[in-house]
């Protein structure tokens, strides 16, 4: 049988809202935890005189399983639905990992936002929603969890309150509700995860597993123009200049001319290798090295982006961005010049103007031209790089339009480019 289509699924949400428990529940109920592990825990619990099967054992079993060590290739939990196979990314909670989410990891195809119904939207819920949007994750499942723990349990009223609160937040950052599925679950008890819940007769919608099957596979960005951020440049005797990097969009082919920006150098791709083997073309996600004629090692550098000569990467004079301040000790005002980490580039950029402050509750503009913004604020700003830099509109190239802002050894903010003024 042909392998099912693959999706990267990122789990996000506030601390303790039940991300791990929901992953564990899905693994168990889709048959992705080995039976002998479950049996072992069942036996142990029975020996201790606890009769019935406890879901908590499953979580212990999963912890123990990972202690035995995972290889580099099997870093992720995976499970299948009818339609897809999923690999799970559980997003780190601390904001100091945001830089790596933005510049490092591969593109997530969909996100599961876990919101505990007794608490509702919390600080990290907001950060993670903003992050998902910045990462270009278009589809979202909102699992309103711990429905067994509302007062009274399985309260429809509470579900609707939390749903509305979450929906408002999602609209603020620009989610279209057509691409969002909200549903009530109890990850711990197993309500509405794989089977419809008997405790929520008022809910007529789909289960978590059905929501996963309803996701659509995002199109591979191979139809877009080539964008390949350069990680490093080598020289190899007899081969010449060899840039190394990951194709983000488009296709890299031998015997084509490409342009490196902002270095503004044109070269001809001769051969492309991946895993030391020659390939006839490199697609999005491929980590490759290739030799180029007409470009010397010192002509180009890390932070350059390769693209077609007739549609080269955009070098900006300035750009407009939507950002969220994650962690700044005081306030950000016009004139602030931190370092922007965008694809493989790190460039000091000046915040020229703070144009709007946004209200995370309603999505409305809270203030035009505010004097300052601080931790927790979302804003639209105008930015001017202190030296030439490639950045694209996130709408066109999500991988090249998102960035983390770093200052004094910390990730201060994250955001995405919404408009560019070309150089």
Partner 1 sequence: MGEVAITYRILPETTDIDLKELGDRVRDVSEGIGKIQGMQEKPIAFGLTALLIRVIIEDKEGGPDEIESALSGISGVQSVEVMDMTRLL
Ligand X SMILES: Nc1nc2c(ncn2[C@@H]2O[C@H](COP(=O)(O)OP(=O)(O)OP(=O)(O)O)[C@@H](O)[C@H]2O)c(=O)[nH]1
What is the smallest separation between the CB atom of 393 and partner 1, expressed in angstroms? 24
Which listed option, Mg ion, partner 1, ligand X, none, makes contact with residue 66 (CB within 5 to 8 Å by class)?
A: partner 1
Which of residues 7, 9, 12, 18 is near ligand X by CB under 6 A?
18
Residue 149 binds to ligand X (criterion: CB under 6 A): yes
Across the chain, how many H-helices and E-strands are there? 8, 20
Residue 386 is a binding residue for partner 1 (CB under 8 A): no
Nearer to ligand X, 190 or 240 (CB): 190
Which partner, partner 1, Mg ion, ligand X, none, binds residue 149 by CB below 5 to 8 Å per kind? Answer: ligand X
| Among 105-113, 160-168, 186-194, 284-292, the segment contacting ligand X (CB under 6 A) | 186-194
What are the helix (H) ranges across 319-386? Answer: none
245 prior amide bond cis, ω within 30:
no
In this complex, which beta carbon is closest to ligand X, that of residue 28 or of residue 420?
Answer: 28
Task: Give the rounded distance of the alpha carbon of 91 from its chain centre.
Answer: 8
Q: Is 231 in the site for partner 1 (CB under 8 A)?
A: yes
Q: Which residues pair with 325 in a beta bridge?
A: 413
Q: Which stretch binds partner 1 (CB under 8 A): 34-42, 85-93, 122-130, 167-175?
A: 85-93
- Residue 145 vs 291, nearer CB to ligand X: 145
Q: Classify residue 72 as left (phi > 0), alpha (psi -120 to 50) or beta.
A: alpha
DSSP state of 49: T
Grouping H, G, I as helix, E, B as strand and the rest as coil, residue 23 is: helix
Q: What letters, b where the CB count within 10 A reaches 16 and e where it falls short, cover 45-64?
A: beeeeeeeeeeebbbebbee
Question: Is residue 35 packed enough to be buried (19+ CB in 10 Å), middle (13-18) or exposed (0-12)?
Answer: exposed
Residues 218 and 140: beta-carbon distance below 8 Å: no
What minimum distance in Å lies between the beta carbon of 93 and ligand X? 5
Site size toward ligand X, by CB under 6 A: 16
Closer residue to Mg ion, CB minimum distance, 91 or 390: 91
Residue 18 interacting entry, from Mg ion, partner 1, ligand X, none, C-beta within 5 to 8 Å by type: ligand X
CB atoms within 10 A of CB 358: 20
Alpha carbons 80 and 85: distance in angstroms, whole number: 4
94 binds, among Mg ion, partner 1, ligand X, none (CB under 5 to 8 A by kind): partner 1
Per CB under 6 A, the segment of 143-151, 196-204, 356-364, 373-381 that binds ligand X is: 143-151
**Residue 252 and residue 225: Cα distance in Å, rounded?**
10
Q: Does 24 bind partner 1 (CB under 8 A)?
A: yes
Distance, in Å, from the CA atom of 103 to the CA atom of 12, rounded to the nearest integer, reads 18
The footprint of Mg ion on residues 4-33 (CB under 5 A) is 19-20
Give the Cα separation of 285 and 41 in Å (integer): 40
Q: Mask 93-132, x = binds ligand X (CB under 6 A)?
A: x---------------------------------------
Identify which of residues 15 and 177 has a Cβ nearer to ligand X in the complex.
15
Q: Which residues bind to ligand X, rule: CB under 6 A?
A: 13, 15-21, 93, 145-146, 148-149, 186-188
């Amino acid at each position: 049988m042909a392998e099912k289509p693959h999706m990267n699924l990122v789990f996000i949400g506030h601390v303790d809202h039940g991300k791990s428990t929901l992953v564990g529940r899905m693994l168990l109920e889709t048959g992705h935890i080995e039976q002998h592990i479950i049996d072992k825990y069942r036996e142990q619990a029975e020996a201790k005189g606890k009769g019935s099967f406890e879901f908590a054992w499953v979580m212990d079993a999963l912890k123990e399983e990972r202690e035995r060590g995972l290889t580099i290739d099997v870093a992720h939990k995976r499970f299948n639905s009818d339609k897809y196979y999923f690999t799970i990314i559980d997003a780190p909670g601390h904001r100091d990992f945001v830089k790596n989410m933005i510049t490092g990891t591969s593109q997530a195809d969909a996100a599961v936002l876990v919101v505990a119904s007794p608490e509702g939207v919390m600080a990290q819920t907001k950060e993670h929603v903003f992050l998902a949007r910045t990462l270009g994750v278009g589809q979202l499942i909102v699992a309103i969890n711990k429905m067994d723990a509302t007062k009274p349990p399985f309260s429809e009223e509470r579900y609707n309150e939390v749903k509305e609160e979450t929906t408002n937040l999602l609209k603020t950052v620009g989610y279209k509700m057509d691409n969002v599925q909200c549903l009530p679950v109890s990850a711990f008890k197993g309500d509405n995860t794989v089977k419809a819940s008997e405790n929520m007769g008022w809910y007529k919608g789909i289960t978590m597993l059905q929501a996963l099957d309803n996701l659509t596979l995002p199109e591979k960005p191979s139809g877009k123009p080539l964008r390949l951020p350069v990680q490093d440049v080598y020289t190899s005797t007899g081969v010449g200049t060899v840039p190394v990097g990951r194709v983000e969009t488009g296709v890299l082919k031998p015997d084509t001319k490409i342009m490196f920006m902002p270095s503004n150098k044109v070269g001809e791709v001769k051969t492309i290798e991946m895993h030391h083997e020659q390939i006839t073309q490199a697609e999005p996600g491929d980590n490759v090295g290739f030799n180029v004629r007409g470009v010397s090692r010192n002509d180009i550098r890390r932070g350059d982006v390769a693209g077609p000569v007739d549609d080269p990467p955009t070098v900006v004079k300035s750009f407009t961005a939507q950002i969220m301040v994650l962690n700044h000790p005081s306030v950000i005002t016009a004139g602030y010049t931190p370092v922007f980490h965008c694809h493989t580039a790190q460039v000091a950029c000046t915040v020229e103007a703070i144009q709007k402050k946004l209200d995370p509750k309603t999505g409305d503009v809270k203030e035009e031209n505010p004097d300052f913004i601080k931790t927790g604020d979302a804003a639209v700003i105008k930015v001017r790089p202190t030296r030439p830099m490639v950045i694209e509109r996130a709408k066109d190239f999500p991988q090249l339009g998102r960035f983390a802002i770093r200052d004094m050894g910390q990730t201060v903010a994250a955001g995405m480019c919404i408009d560019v003024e070309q150089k």
